[in-house]
Amino acid sequence: MPNAINVICISTEVSLVPRLQTALERREARVLREAHLDRLVERFEEDTYDIVVLTSSAFSGTEIEGAEILEIVLTQSPSTQLVCLLDPGNIRTARRQLRTGTYEYARMPVSDEELRLLMESAVERRPRLGENKLLKAGRKTRTLGEIIGRSPAMQEVYRQVRQAAATDIPVLILGATGTGKDLVAEAIHRQSERRDHSYMAVNMGAMPSELVASELFGHEKGAFTGAVERRVGCFEMADGGTVFLDEIGTVDERVQVSLLRLIEQKKFHRLGGRRLVSSDVRLVAATNADLLELVRDGSFREDLFYRLDVFRITMPPLEERQGDIALLIDEFVRRYNQTFEKDIRGIAPECVSLLEAYSWPGNVRELKNVVQRAVLVCEGEVIMPEHLPPRFGTARTSGTVAAAFGVGMTLNEVEREMILRTLAATNNNRKRTAEMLGISRRALYNRLRKHHID
């Protein structure tokens, strides 16, 4: 949408996000929140923001660090507007840090109407020209809907999701438990022409088999004991939309026959009903079972399998997603910071090394649960190995990357190579790279420009 506005809010106040969305409701704004300035550069490496909103809590770090971060962002993304919401006692401190660019500010507390006028003014004043030079050229897609990952394996999944979304054919998603099959199904719906209609997800393996048919197709009054009134099923409610059937391999023969009729005719009977009900739904199914093996032993209909297996997407296990673990950790820390109202600013490199060395039999779901626990038990600002579950205590790693340089290399060549190797070791995390090299992020960006490193 041409009027959509991208806003990033740097504040510990979670309640400010819905207020900003309301203030820009005519612009259909997307508002992202970070608790501290130290994530701002990384966010601009991933996306471009029209407005940065800072509150007094954003200046809780050292003045030099805050000034460097703002200087990097505002000089490298000149079209971005800066809005400050400051407590009267913090105005002098903030002004010392806001050395670069122009900005607007208001004293806190600020009313909803004042906030709306301030944000509208920032939108109107923003330059139309000036690219975000921090944005990585040719960067890989990091997210698709709720899916997170930039590994080659996930780039292939993103490609397949877009292909599937452009059609109306059935999709079969395969993969182990915890790989995110449900997220892929929803992403297909959100990318498709059906996105303005209902999306309904049904976990077939989580309900008693005798209730599955009623859940999917509905029932008439008196169809069975306890059916005291007519019930509309998922396929009828989702007419025009998408139905996602998880654990499709668990359904019985009777439901399989009804599903086959639905796919072929887009019609079905409610339980106990005589009238055919029409429903135009897009069917997406998923399983962690070997459906072909179920076909061979007679527990799954072969004709239904081939009707479902028109477009197949296989989700890779987490251990095959090279480079995605650090990205997922950062996202889960951000989410659970908000959930538990914590203020965790990062995770120790040795902790990341422990997590990357683990095999992850439970895949992304297991990693999510581990990070959730770590955020909950961490009392400081950095997650350490002791905040991980006991099963990670047996692994040990120094997190140090060895590097050898040939005699005759110039200091410039050594510096460039060291930066490149450290970037590779940190999965291109600029903040972590600067920390490992013992320099400020402004110094790192100066060296990146000097050595022509994108």
Average pLDDT over residues 401-429: 70
Query: Residue 83 — φ and ψ, nearest 5°?
Result: -125, 130
pLDDT at 422 over 60: yes
Q: Which two tokens stand for residue 447?
A: 């060296």
Pairing of strands 143-144, 147-148: antiparallel
Q: Are 432 and 401 in contact (CB under 8 A)?
A: no
In terms of phi and psi (left: phi > 0; alpha: psi -120 to 50; beta: otherwise), the region of 46 is alpha
Q: Which residue has the tokens 């538990």?
A: 340
Interatomic CA distance for residues 209 and 120, integer angstroms: 55
Residues 6+ apart with CB under 8 A from 302: 295
Q: Are 33 and 16 in contact (CB under 8 A)?
A: yes
How much is the pLDDT for 90? Answer: 66
Q: Are 52 and 40 in contact (CB under 8 A)?
A: yes
Read off the pTM.
0.63
Interatomic CA distance for residues 321 and 268, integer angstroms: 41
191-230 pLDDT, tens digit per residue, is: 999 999 999 999 998 888 778 998 999 888 877 877 778 8
How much is the pLDDT for 409? Answer: 66
Other CB atoms within 10 Å distance of the CB of residue 187: 22
Residue 441 — very low, low, confident or very high, per pLDDT cuts 50/70/90? confident
Q: Are 178 and 219 in contact (CB under 8 A)?
A: no
169-187 pLDDT, tens digit per residue, is: 999 999 999 999 999 999 9
Interatomic CA distance for residues 422 and 147, integer angstroms: 27
Mean pLDDT of the chain: 84
Q: For the stretch 157-167, what's the b/e string if a residue is b when 16 or more beta carbons lie within 10 angstroms of its beta carbon?
A: bbebbeebbee
Q: Are 14 and 45 in contact (CB under 8 A)?
A: no
How much is the pLDDT for 146? Answer: 86
Q: Which two tokens stand for residue 444?
A: 């790192």
Interatomic CA distance for residues 54 and 85, integer angstroms: 6
Interatomic CA distance for residues 451 and 190, integer angstroms: 41
Query: In sequence order, what are the beta bridge partners of 283?
Result: 243
Pairing of strands 311-314, 103-107: unpaired
385-394 pLDDT, tens digit per residue, is: 999 998 887 4
DSSP E strands in 11-50: the ranges are: 30-34
Query: In sequence order, what are the beta bridge partners of 383?
Result: 347
Q: Are 29 and 7 in contact (CB under 8 A)?
A: yes
How much is the pLDDT for 93? Answer: 59
Element (H, E) at 372: helix 363-377
Alpha carbon of residue 247 to chain centroid: 23
pLDDT at 137 over 60: no
Residue 73 — very low, low, confident or very high, per pLDDT cuts 50/70/90? confident
How big is the CA angle at 375 (ends 369 and 376), to the nearest 5 degrees? 90
**Amino acid identity, position 448:** L
Residue 139 — very low, low, confident or very high, per pLDDT cuts 50/70/90? low
Average pLDDT over residues 49-59: 83
Average pLDDT over residues 52-64: 69
Residue 102 — very low, low, confident or very high, per pLDDT cuts 50/70/90? low
Average pLDDT over residues 138-149: 74
How much is the pLDDT for 234? Answer: 94
Percentage of the chain modeled with pLDDT above 90: 38
How big is the CA angle at 281 (ends 276 and 286), to the nearest 5 degrees? 115
Query: In sequence order, what are the beta bridge partners of 286?
Result: 173
Q: Which two tokens stand for residue 353?
A: 């090394």
Interatomic CA distance for residues 350 and 112, integer angstroms: 44
Q: Are 158 and 313 in contact (CB under 8 A)?
A: no
Residue 129 — very low, low, confident or very high, per pLDDT cuts 50/70/90? low
Sign of CA dihedral 335, 340, 344, 347: negative
Residue 426 — very low, low, confident or very high, per pLDDT cuts 50/70/90? confident
Element (H, E) at 14: none
Residues 6+ apart with CB under 8 A from 430: 41, 42, 45, 423, 441, 444, 445
pLDDT at 400 over 60: no
How many residues are recorded in the chain?
454
Average pLDDT over residues 76-98: 75
Average pLDDT over residues 114-125: 89
Question: Domains of the chain by range and CATH?
Answer: 6-125 (3.40.50.2300), 143-314 (3.40.50.300), 319-392 (1.10.8.60), 411-450 (1.10.10.60)
How much is the pLDDT for 55? Answer: 86
